Amino acid sequence: MRIIQKLMPASKMKLVISSIGVLALILFSGHLLFEGTQAEVVIVDNDEKQTVHTHTDTVEDLLNEVGITVSEHDDLSHDADETVVNGMEIEFVSAKQISLEIDGDEQEYNTTEGTIGEFLAANNLSFEERDDVSHDKKEAIKDGLHIEVNQAYEVEINDGGDEDTFWTTGGSVEELLAEADIDYDQDSDDEIKPGLSDDVTKDTPIEIVRVQKDEDEVTEAIAFETETKEDSSLAKGEEQVVSEGEQGTVKKIFEIITENGEEAERNLVSEEVTEESENRVVAVGTKESDPDPEPQEDSNLVTLSSDSSESDNNTESASASESESESKRNAGGETYTMSASAYTVNCSGCSGSGYTATGINLNENPKVIAVDPNVIPLGTKVWVEGYGEAIAGDTGGSINGNKIDLHFQSRQDALAFGRQTVELRIID
C-alpha cells in the first residue's frame, strides 16, 4: 500500500480503494444470494435419514447427486422427474431378492416389504396354522432369504376298523401316529401298513390291523366202533347185540387268532383223550341148519308124492317170503350201522366257514352229513335213522370207517342229538 501511495496521488488512491470495496460487496452479496436459493431436502435411504441442500431440478438428479441408483423393483416415494422443492422428504427403499418354496415348487421374488407377513399379504399368499412355514411372519425380510412352506394334506387312518382322517405335512408313519395320539405296541402282533419307517404320502392310507391271540378249549365225544364176533349158538346170519358201546371224550385246545375282533384263524394246538370209548359188540351166528331128510320109496308113494308136492309148495312159499323180506330190508340200497355225531356251523370248534368240503352252503342246505368217502362216496343220497334223508357232502379229520357226522342248524339241536348208533341206508 505504501508503494501504491508513493506511485499514486492521494485522490486516485481513494478511488481504487472504493472500487475494491464495491467489488467485494458484490461478490459477497452474490454468494449470499446463491446460498439462499438452495433447497433443503430430507432423504430417507432404507431407514437412514440425511438432510441435503441442492440446486438440482428433479428428484432423479438429486438422487444421482447423493449416489443413490433406483432399480425397477425399488420403492421411491416420488416420481423420478418430479421437481425438487424446499422441505421435500424423499423415501427410498431398495428391493431385496428372496425365494419362496411351496411343496417343492420354488419361485424368486423382489420385495420392499419389511416383514415376511407383509410380503405374504402383498403377494396374496396365506397359509393355515397346520401348514409348516420355515420362518415366523414377524421376521424381517433380508436379502437372499429362503422361505420354505409345506402345506398340510389329509391322510386316512383305519385303526382296527375305525376310520378317521388326520392333517399332516409329511414325515414317517410313526410320526403321524404319534401326532394323532394313536397307541400301539411294537412288541404285539398288530400289523401296521405301510411300515412305521415309511414316508407318509397323500394317496396312501394307513391301516392298523389289531391282532389278538386266545385259546379255546373244546370237549368232543369220541364215537365207538362196532365189532363183530362169531357165535356158534346163533343160527347163521342171525345177529345179537352183546354190548351197546359207549362214547369216549377228547379235550382239544385251539389257538384263536382274531383280526380287528373277527376270527381269522383257528389252529389245533393240542388234544388229549380224557375217556376212552368202548366198542359196540355184535354176535353173528354161524350155526348151520339141519339138512332136509331124503324121501323114502314105499307103498305110500302117491301120498308121499302128494305130500312132497305140498312140501315143495311150502318150501317155495317160504323161499319167496324170505326173498321178499330180504328185498324190503335192502329197499333203496345197502344198509350200514353207523356211529353218528352232530355238528353245526355255529358251534365253537366246529366248521365255521358255512361251506362243506364239496362246496355245499350249510345255511341253504342244512341236511348234510360228513362221511368217510372210502365207505360212503361223496354226493350219495342217504337215509339216516332219526335224521331223515340227507346228502353225503362233507368230510372230517376224525370221520373214518363207519362214522358219520350230522349237520344241525342250531347248536341246541346238535347237543341234543349227541352221539348215537344209527342205521344208514343208501337211497341213490
Instruction: Report CA torsion sign: 174, 175, 176, 179.
Output: positive
Please indicate, yes or no, whether residues 237 and 272 belong to a single structural domain of this protein.
yes
- State the residue range of the domain holding 160: 153-209
2 is a domain residue: no
13 is a domain residue: no
Q: Tens of pLDDT along 369-428? A: 999 999 999 999 999 999 999 999 999 888 999 999 999 988 888 888 999 999 999 998
pLDDT at 31 > cutoff 50 = no
Please indicate, yes or no, whether residues 342 and 376 belong to a single structural domain of this protein.
yes
Share of the chain above pLDDT 90, in %: 41
**Confidence class for position 305, pLDDT limits 50, 70, 90:** very low
Please indicate, yes or no, whether residues 422 and 362 belong to a single structural domain of this protein.
yes
Please give the C-alpha separations between residue 39 and each of 55, 113, 293, in angstroms, as whole numbers: 6, 30, 168
Please indicate, yes or no, whether residues 370 and 422 belong to a single structural domain of this protein.
yes
Query: Which of 22-26, 240-244, 259-263 has the weakest average pLDDT?
Result: 22-26
Domain boundary among the residues 91, 117, 135 is at 91
CATH code of residue 105 = 3.10.20
The pLDDT of residue 245: 85
245 is a domain residue: yes
Please indicate, yes or no, whether residues 342 and 402 belong to a single structural domain of this protein.
yes
Highest mean pLDDT among 4-8, 10-14, 43-47: 43-47
323 is a domain residue: no
24 is a domain residue: no
Chain-centroid distance of CA 121 in Å reads 42
The pLDDT of residue 25: 52
Please indicate, yes or no, whether residues 332 and 428 belong to a single structural domain of this protein.
yes
Distance CA 37, CA 24 (A): 20
Task: Please give the tally of structural domains in the chain.
Answer: 5
The pLDDT of residue 169: 87
Burial of 127 by CB count in 10 Å (0-12 exposed, 13-18 middle, 19+ buried)?
middle
**Confidence class for position 10, pLDDT limits 50, 70, 90:** low
Q: Tens of pLDDT along 263-294? A: 889 999 999 999 998 898 988 888 886 655 44
**Confidence class for position 307, pLDDT limits 50, 70, 90:** very low
Q: Tens of pLDDT along 173-186? A: 988 999 889 988 88
Distance CA 115, CA 146 (A): 13
Please indicate, yes or no, whether residues 220 and 199 belong to a single structural domain of this protein.
no
- State if pTM tops 0.85: no
The pLDDT of residue 388: 94
* Residue among 382, 386, 387, 363 at smallest CA distance from 371: 382
Q: Tens of pLDDT along 203-237? A: 889 999 999 999 999 998 888 888 888 888 888 87
Please indicate, yes or no, whether residues 274 and 191 belong to a single structural domain of this protein.
no
238-264 average pLDDT score: 89
Q: How many residues does the chain have?
A: 428
Please indicate, yes or no, whether residues 72 and 119 belong to a single structural domain of this protein.
no
Mean pLDDT of the chain: 81
Please indicate, yes or no, whether residues 382 and 337 belong to a single structural domain of this protein.
yes
The pLDDT of residue 320: 38
312 is a domain residue: no
pLDDT at 4 > cutoff 60 = no
Please give the C-alpha separations between residue 361 and each of 189, 355, 378, 391, in angstroms, as whole numbers: 33, 5, 15, 12
The pLDDT of residue 365: 87
pLDDT at 21 > cutoff 80 = no
Q: Which residues of 322-352 are buried (b: 16+ CB within 10 A; e: fewer)?
A: eeeeeeeeeeeeeebebbbbbbbbbbebbbe
110 is a domain residue: yes
Please indicate, yes or no, whether residues 332 and 388 belong to a single structural domain of this protein.
yes
Please indicate, yes or no, whether residues 140 and 163 belong to a single structural domain of this protein.
no
314 is a domain residue: no
Strands (E), 12-152: 39-45, 48-54, 75-76, 89-93, 96-102, 105-111, 132-133, 146-150
pLDDT at 32 > cutoff 70 = no
Phi (first) and psi of residue 241, to 5 degrees: -75, 120
DSSP bridge pairs for 279: none
CATH code of residue 270 = 2.20.230.10
